[in-house]
Structure 1
Amino acid sequence: MKKPIIFLFLLFVNFTAFAQGKLFIIGGGSRPASMIDEMIDEAGVRFEGYAVVLPMSSADTDAAIISGKKQFSDNGISSVTAFNFLMGETPSTSHLDSIRNAKLIFISGGSQIRFMDVVAGTAIERAIWDCYHNGGTIAGTSAGAAVMSEKMITGDQVLYPEADGGFRVIEKGNTKLSNGLGLVKNAIIDQHFVQRSRYNRLITLAIENPSLKCIGIDESTAILVSGNKVKVIGQSQVLVFDGSKGKKREMGEKLGMKDVRLSVYLDGDTFSLK
């Protein structure tokens, strides 16, 4: 009885390992036409297939749908639809099939927690994964970027829940993580990074999660992920903190680490997630 179970497990692992899709992860802010152009071309949706906008991160889903569709229509793409799923609802088979067979899925900005509250553990999440495995491109901006990683930054501070003005400390247990879509297994994604000076929280996560690359994507900038290869696209920078060879030290709640590696990438640069 054990052999079929082991076989199915290995089949699932291999299927996950060889996903054929791409990820186009945008750090938020304005989205230059040239960047959206590249997203469309990488997805292959200019000449075939269609795009789907998922606006559930947004507090104003109607506006997110209009904005999401406009970025495609401004670039000559008319084959775009949108689905605003509600928490707890049972999606129709036709809507799930539309997600599953899309060439490109675009996840709007807003709150990553709001998005995951709707899709986590549901047929919607499985359909997104199916799209990715079928060769589709999964794209997202801001909150739609945060949901890409398995360990997702929520934006909340555990030790200072009432703090205003960002993360002012590098202390253990302060940066709250939750479960994202898990399309990126070996990295944590942060957004609006340079613009909002989110260094402290990503440095903290690099120290606390040395096996993961911690990637900060600035506004009007994106990363294109194909397997383990990453390409930077856009107007600003992508910062990567790597604590894999660092030496961690703690002093009370304070965190320290020697030899944290920092790389700052610009448009056209590439790096590996390995």
Structure 2
Amino acid sequence: MEILGKLIIIGGAVDKGSFTETNLDKDAVKNLNFFETGILKRIIQESKYKEESRIEVITTASKIPREIGPEYVKAFSYLGANNADVLYIEKREQSNDPEVLERLQAAEVVMFTGGDQLRLTSILGGTPFVDLLISKYQNTEFIYAGTSAGAAAASNNMIYQGSSSEALLKGEVKITSGLGLIDDVVIDTHFVQRGRIGRLFQAVVGNPKVMGVGLGEDTGLLITKGHQMEAIGSGLVILVDGREVKDTNLTQVELDQPISINHLVTHVMSHFDKFDLNTYKMSIHSSQYT
């Protein structure tokens, strides 16, 4: 099936929207400051009606939705997109509200903010809202954009817990089901700054069919047709491919013991690089060999 919508998943910003830090949203408003201006601009450009597109900012993941949401509306307005508003969904029953579903139906873009992805999936998972979201993404020129928690929750497999420093000890990484817009990937955010590569390694070695995607801050992936990925933003995207793993001690060691992995393939993408999830081929934009 050819997917008509686009996914734009973003790694997040400094001190904002991470589920492992104690200052979860403390500095969020202060640090937003158009940090994603380049990526937000790309979201507008990729949308069906550009600056005229209807954008709904969804703050369900955040503990301070009334502060975060208006900051995004301001940021979009600053970039010329004035048809943006905040759609507050804070309880499961709201996701079945006819007015909420009408607003989603009318939107060309949804922007899921950072926060706690387990909060996001526990409120929205298995609801008519998500059914409509997936249908619009698959069948119309619709954009699902998500930063931090909003990015992590986009895939079928979702990391929701796991310390950065202990992530290569068995059992340190917890995975559950995400919103399910894209299969066979698992996404981690704030990736480079918070040293989370071990976390992604463990997620992939436990299920090598799944491609690990690590997003740096102010960095994202634009995914079109469900499989064509382009790196956007200023930082790095790390891809972890477990299909060629030759050996591991994952099932032999006790909980909290270190994991060994032989032959885990990684790719590093930067701005404009492309990767196809169907063929597993990467294209470097400014290759020294072309």
Query: Normalization by structure 1: what TM-score?
Result: 0.86
Q: CA RMSD in A?
A: 1.6
Question: Which of the numbers 85, 107, 118 marks the counterpart of 2:112?
Answer: 107
Q: What does residue range 200-219 of structure 1 map to in structure 2 within 5 Å? A: 200-219=198-217
By how many angstroms is 1:93 displaced? 1.6
Which letter maps to 2:152?
A
2:51–2:82 Cα contact (<8 Å) kept: no
By how many angstroms is 1:137 displaced? 0.3
Q: Which residue of 1 aligns with 2:149?
A: 143
By how many angstroms is 1:243 displaced? 0.9
Count of matched residue positions in the alignment of Structure 1 and Structure 2: 250
By how many angstroms is 1:128 displaced? 1.4
Q: Which residue of 1 aligns with 2:196?
A: 198
Which letter maps to 1:21?
G
By how many angstroms is 1:46 displaced? 2.1
Q: What does residue range 110-259 of structure 1 map to in structure 2 within 5 Å? A: 110-133=115-138, 134-155=140-161, 157=162, 166-226=164-224, 227-250=226-249, 251-253=252-254, 254-259=258-263
CA distance in 2, matches of 1:25, 1:45: 20
CA distance in 2, matches of 1:98, 1:18: 25
By how many angstroms is 1:176 displaced? 0.5
Identical amino acids, percent of aligned pairs: 29
Q: Which residue of 1 aligns with 2:46?
A: 42
Helix, strand or coil: the match of 2:259?
strand
Question: Which of the numbers 52, 59, 80 marks the counterpart of 1:55?
Answer: 59
Unpaired runs of at least 5, structure 1: 1-16, 158-164
Q: What are the superposed Cα offsets for residues 23-66 of structure 1, whole Å, 9 maximum, x if unpaired?
A: 00000015332221111111234254301111000000101211
Unpaired runs of at least 5, structure 2: 14-31, 279-290
1:187–1:273 Cα contact (<8 Å) kept: no
Structure 1: which 4+ aligned runs deviate by more than 4 Å?
none
CA distance in 1, matches of 2:45, 2:167: 41
CA distance in 2, matches of 1:18, 1:97: 25
By how many angstroms is 1:71 displaced? 1.9
1:246–1:257 Cα contact (<8 Å) kept: yes
By how many angstroms is 1:173 displaced? 3.3
